[in-house]
Amino acid sequence: MTCPESRERLHAYLDEELDPDGRAAFEDHLHGCPACARELESQRALQTALRDGDFRHAAPAGLRESVRAALRAENASPPVRRPLAPWLAAAAGLLIGAAAGAAGTYLALPRQAGAPDLPRDLAAAHVRSLMAEHLYDVASTNRHTVKPWFQGRVDFSLPVKDFKDQEYPLQGGRLDYLDGRPVAALVYGRHKHVINLFVWPAVGGDSAPRGETQRGFNLLHWTQDGLNFWAVSDLNAEELAEFARLQRETP
């Protein structure tokens, strides 16, 4: 089974819709393909999040009472069907069309590097990487080993730097999947902490580092030389900022 075939069967596998042979073939592919295995974990985490209560919002008490009152009044009187005034019918049609168009536009637009849910996805990817056998596809402290590994796996030139003299040693890298596309993830260490540096092409000019926190992790985002950089770690903000400075200022 190829990776594209695996991606086509992923949701059927999660929904337990594959026959036994298809399920076995899918699982055999996962055992030899870390990228597809990570995508499965990502989609499984998304399913769990969508079932989480945080995605359901209770209506305000006043609104609930207004709806109940309207229903009581409706049930107390016989239904009277009145045709919509022409102007109201036209307005309703325009509103429905505009809503459909807006929804289609939203679904079609790619997410930008600053999209509200991207930091959450990055923190989740960082957590997934800390699970057993998820951190590296290529484990090496030699940047001349790590950089060639990405050739042909990502469609951009990846700057791979090592800062072992500053106690931020390169440890390896892997291929990840974020923001609707494959991305490079370079792995660095800082004492007992792990830093994931996610890299993929950017739109627009360079930007200074901007920090935020997500699920207890510190994140720093900047753009440079046509690339997005997201550094994610449980490292304190000051040391993560020093790591970003080294990345930005070292040729």
- Provide the residue ranges of all domains of the chain, joining segments of one domain with +: 3-54, 118-249
Does pLDDT of 86 surpass 80?
A: no
Per the model's pLDDT, the better-predicted residue between 210 and 98 turns out to be 210
Identify the pLDDT of residue 37.
Answer: 85
Instruction: Please classify residue 208 by burial: count the beta carbons closer than 10 Å to its beta carbon, then call 0-12 exposed, 13-18 middle and 19+ buried.
Output: exposed
Does 102 score more than 50 pLDDT?
Answer: no
- CB of 220 closer than 8 Å to CB of 126: no
Cβ(217)–Cβ(126) below 8 Å: yes
pLDDT over 70 percentage in the chain:
72
Q: Provide the H-helix boundaries in 2-142.
A: 3-14, 20-32, 34-51, 61-76, 86-108, 118-129
Task: Give the contacts of 56 (CB within 8 A, at least 6 positions apart).
Answer: none
Does the domain at residues 118-249 carry the CATH identifier 3.30.200.100?
Answer: yes
Place of tokens 């926190």: 213
Sole residue written with tokens 């060639």: 148
d(CA 251, CA 248): 8
